[in-house]
């Protein structure tokens, strides 16, 4: 009986193997081309991809964005034309018109279907035009909405310098990454993940034990003394967020005496951070598992596994974990978090005790659910298109802790949910709010189910202490709308009762 209760107190994971019902991943271009100011994004796809970008991004007629479409015609798809010559013509035109520091090729579904060898063409063309070409796959066949950014950052991580070297004139310049050997066995991959904790100067080893990871026996050591953080190490944060939010997170870490060595992506391609075995990396977004794996396996960086800085609770836990790695005691975080919660009380009153259902779209669902549970909401189900449990291990642990502290049931986590079954569960549970993709919002609203577009959380500033109100504004907006409509209806009924009788 005790074992049964313990199992009920744990998060349950299911996989319904439904299709990706998400926004197209090539939409990552909309925020990445703004973040990397000296870049140019070339999306290789059909006219449909161009129409999507033109409509989804809301491009102003007075602004010339730094992205373009390489549209594939029937002759391209039937392999009657030379893809290399056409891409070469476009890239030379881009160089002449814009002269970017880097060109990013975004592969779409069509390039996957017709098997375009973008990775094979890019190095040769890069030599001809003299501009770095980064190839990233962002097709909707293999990736969900925000995973487009994940593939771009994973590809860009391989272009980061490995260190600084001296030149003949006495100056220092970045040492570029050597791509000669990236081969790694499954056992080496498991070791790199297990050993992703920060490296410390050793003092005393107490014991060693064999642990199982992905079916591989791995030797793990334990110590019983506080260890000193290596002075030669540095911290790189990865994930694309607005510069104002990045500055806020930087200042929060500076208050704790921690400096940031760089960001991936950086504002300029030439400012990409140095990545090597002495670099410690920490993510700010939960959908960057491929980037995290690339940083560990190919660049030998050490990953700091922490919850993500979304909401006051997540931001505090994120800073505390980084401080623990650096051996620093957090200063004033508890008071800071308490002050933020007090400032949000007017919104918390509206959602406290309400229920929410995540259908799954942008891979932010776990972090948002954890924050809303802390706000006092009940989360029935967390649908998510894809989840790497190892990368989100700290976030899942914080979710469990939050449910226990708030004394609410653990939500059901469904990976690749089947929408048919989800809608059946929504009808049964009748949640107060459903956070879903745009494809399902209007049909659900027609059935008197209150919804919120999940894509709005992606394009809003939701990281850090000060942006917690933006999250609550998005959540409470449909609830306030319903409240206002109800008040207006009651006012009309009281003002003109004969109208109600006649209708």
| Residue 351 within a domain | yes
Average of per-residue pLDDT across 485-499:
64
Higher pLDDT, 51 or 217: 51
At 141 the pLDDT is 80
CB atoms within 10 A of CB 43: 22
Give 61 or 184, the one with higher predicted confidence: 61
Q: Per the domain annotation, does 182 fall within a domain?
A: no
The answer to which of 1-10, 227-236, 316-325 has the lowest mean pLDDT is 1-10
Comparing CA positions, the residue from 112, 118, 108, 124 lying closest to residue 83 is 118
Number of domains forming the structure of the chain: 4
Residue 134 CA from chain centroid, whole number:
20
For a pLDDT cut of 70, what percent of the chain falls above it? 77
In a domain, 32, yes or no: yes
What digits encode the pLDDT tens for the residues 19-78?
777 788 888 888 898 899 999 999 998 888 888 887 766 654 445 678 888 877 765 555
**How many Cα atoms are found within 13 Å in the side-chain-facing hemisphere of 414?**
23
Could you tell me the two tokens for 69? 């479409």
CA dihedral sign of residues 276, 277, 283, 286: positive
Which residue, 143, 178, 200, sits at the end of a domain? 143
Q: Please, what is the end-to-end C-alpha distance for the chain in angstroms? A: 58
Report the side by side order of strands in the sheet with 133-137.
67-71, 39-45, 102-107, 133-137
For position 64, what pLDDT does the model report? 66
Report the C-alpha gap between 386 and 218 in whole angstroms: 27
Q: Is residue 156 part of a domain?
A: no
pLDDT-based confidence at residue 79 (cuts at 50, 70, 90): low
Considering the domain architecture, whether residues 245 and 285 belong to the same structural domain is answered as yes
Least confident of 22-36, 72-86, 189-203, 284-298: 189-203
pLDDT score of 494: 66
What is the total residue count of the chain? 503
Residue 321: give its domain's CATH number.
3.40.50.1980
Residues 46 and 117 in one domain: yes
Q: 19: which 2 tokens?
A: 């299709």
Strand partners, 453: 436
Task: Please indicate, yes or no, whether residues 357 and 484 belong to a single structural domain of this protein.
Answer: yes
> What is the model's pTM?
0.81
Count of helices and strands (H, E) across the chain:
21, 20
Domain edge (last residue) among 227, 257, 282: 227
Tell me, what's the pLDDT at 92?
A: 93
Asked if the model's pLDDT at residue 181 lies above 70, the reply is: no
Residue 187 clears pLDDT 60, i.e. is over it = no
Q: Is residue 2 part of a domain?
A: no
pLDDT of 60 reads: 46
Helix residue ranges, H only, 345-467? 345-351, 365-374, 393-406, 419-429, 438-446, 455-458
CB contact set of 17 (below 8 Å; sequence gap of 6+): 416, 418
Q: Quick one: 372 and 350 in the same domain?
A: yes
- Over 50: is that where the pLDDT of 3 sits? no
How many angstroms separate the Cα of 25 from the Cα of each of 109, 134, 288, 349? 10, 17, 13, 36
Same domain, 397 and 438: yes
Name the DSSP class of 484. H
| Pair 139, 117: CB distance under 8 Å | no
Q: What are phi and psi of 291, to 5 degrees?
A: -65, -45
Alpha helices in 275-392 (DSSP H): 289-297, 311-325, 333-343, 345-351, 365-374
Pair (374, 459) in one structural domain: yes
> Is 90 exceeded by the pLDDT of residue 496?
no
Of the candidates 405, 338, 394, 340, the residue with the CA atom closest to the CA atom of residue 366: 394
Q: What is the structure's pLDDT at 439?
A: 84
pLDDT at residue 134 above 80?
yes
What angle do helix axes 333-343 and 311-325 make, rounded to 10 degrees? 170
Q: Which of 198-202, 343-347, 352-356 bottoms out in mean pLDDT, i.e. has the lowest?
A: 198-202
Q: What residues pair up with 235 in beta bridges, in sequence order?
A: 280
d(CA 230, CA 277): 12
Residues 128 and 98 in one domain: yes
Q: What mean pLDDT do residues 82-97 have?
A: 88
Of the pLDDT bands very low, low, confident and very high (cuts 50, 70, 90), residue 6 is: very low
- Shared domain check, 116 and 212: no
User: What tens digit of pLDDT does each residue of 404-426 get?
Assistant: 999 999 999 999 998 889 999 99
Ordered alpha helix ranges (H), 177-298: 186-194, 243-255, 289-297
Question: Are both 116 and 243 inside the same structural domain?
Answer: no
Radius of gyration over every alpha carbon of the chain, rounded to an integer in angstroms: 25
Is residue 18 included in any domain, yes or no? no
Provide the residue range defining the domain that includes 194: 187-227
**155 part of a folded domain:** no
Q: What is the pLDDT at residue 213?
A: 32
Choose one of 291, 325, 359: the last residue of a domain.
325
For residue 77, being part of any structural domain is answered with yes
235 phi, psi to nearest 5 deg: -120, 125
Question: What is the pLDDT at residue 342?
Answer: 94
Domain co-membership, 134 together with 210: no
Contact (CB, 8 A) for 282 and 304:
yes
Residues 192 and 254 in one domain: no
For residues 215 and 294, membership in a common domain is answered with no
């Amino acid at each position: 009986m005790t074992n049964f209760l313990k199992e009920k107190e744990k998060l349950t994971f299911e996989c319904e193997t439904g299709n990706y019902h998400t926004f197209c991943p090539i939409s990552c271009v909309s925020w990445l081309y703004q973040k990397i100011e000296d870049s140019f994004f070339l999306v290789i796809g059909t006219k449909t991809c161009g129409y999507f970008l033109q409509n989804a991004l809301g491009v102003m007629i007075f602004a010339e964005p730094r992205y373009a479409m390489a549209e594939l015609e029937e002759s391209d798809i039937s392999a009657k034309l030379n893809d290399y010559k056409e891409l070469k013509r476009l890239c030379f035109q881009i160089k002449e018109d814009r002269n970017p520091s880097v060109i990013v090729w975004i592969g779409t579904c069509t390039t996957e279907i017709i098997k375009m060898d973008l990775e094979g063409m890019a190095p040769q063309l890069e030599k001809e035009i003299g501009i770095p070409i980064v190839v990233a796959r962002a097709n909707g066949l293999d990736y969900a909405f925000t995973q487009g950014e994940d593939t771009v950052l994973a590809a860009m991580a391989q272009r980061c310098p490995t260190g600084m070297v001296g030149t003949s004139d006495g100056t220092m310049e970045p040492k570029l990454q050597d791509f000669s050997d990236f081969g790694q066995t499954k056992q080496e991959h498991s070791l790199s993940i297990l050993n992703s904790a920060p490296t410390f100067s050793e003092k005393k080893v107490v014991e060693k034990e064999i642990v199982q990871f992905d079916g591989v026996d791995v030797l793990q050591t334990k110590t019983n003394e506080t260890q000193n953080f290596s002075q030669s190490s540095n911290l790189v944060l990865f994930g694309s967020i607005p510069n104002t939010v990045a500055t806020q997170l930087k200042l929060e870490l500076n208050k704790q005496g921690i400096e940031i060595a760089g960001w991936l992506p950086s504002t300029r391609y030439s400012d990409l951070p140095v990545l090597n075995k002495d670099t410690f990396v920490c993510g700010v977004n939960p959908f960057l598992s491929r980037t995290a794996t690339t940083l560990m396996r190919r660049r030998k960086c050490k990953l700091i596994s922490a919850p993500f800085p979304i909401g006051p609770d997540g931001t505090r836990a994120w800073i505390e974990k980084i401080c623990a790695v650096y051996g620093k005691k957090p200063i004033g975080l508890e008071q800071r978090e308490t002050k933020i919660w007090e400032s949000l009380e007017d919104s918390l009153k509206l959602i406290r005790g309400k229920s929410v259902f995540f259908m799954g779209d942008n891979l932010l669902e776990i972090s948002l659910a954890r924050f809303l549970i802390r706000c006092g909401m009940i989360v029935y189900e967390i649908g998510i298109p894809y989840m790497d449990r190892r990368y989100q291990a700290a976030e899942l642990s914080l979710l469990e802790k939050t449910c226990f502290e708030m004394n609410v049931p653990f939500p059901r986590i469904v990976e690749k949910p089947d929408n048919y079954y989800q809608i059946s569960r929504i009808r049964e549970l009748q949640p107060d709010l459903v956070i879903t993709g745009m494809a399902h919002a209007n049909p659900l609203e027609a059935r008197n189910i209150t919804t919120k577009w999940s894509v709005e959380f992606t394009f809003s500033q939701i990281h850090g202490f000060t942006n917690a109100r933006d999250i609550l504004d998005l959540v409470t907006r449909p609830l306030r709308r319903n409240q206002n409509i109800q008040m207006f209806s009651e006012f009309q009924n009281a003002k003109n009762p004969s109208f109600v009788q006649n209708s």
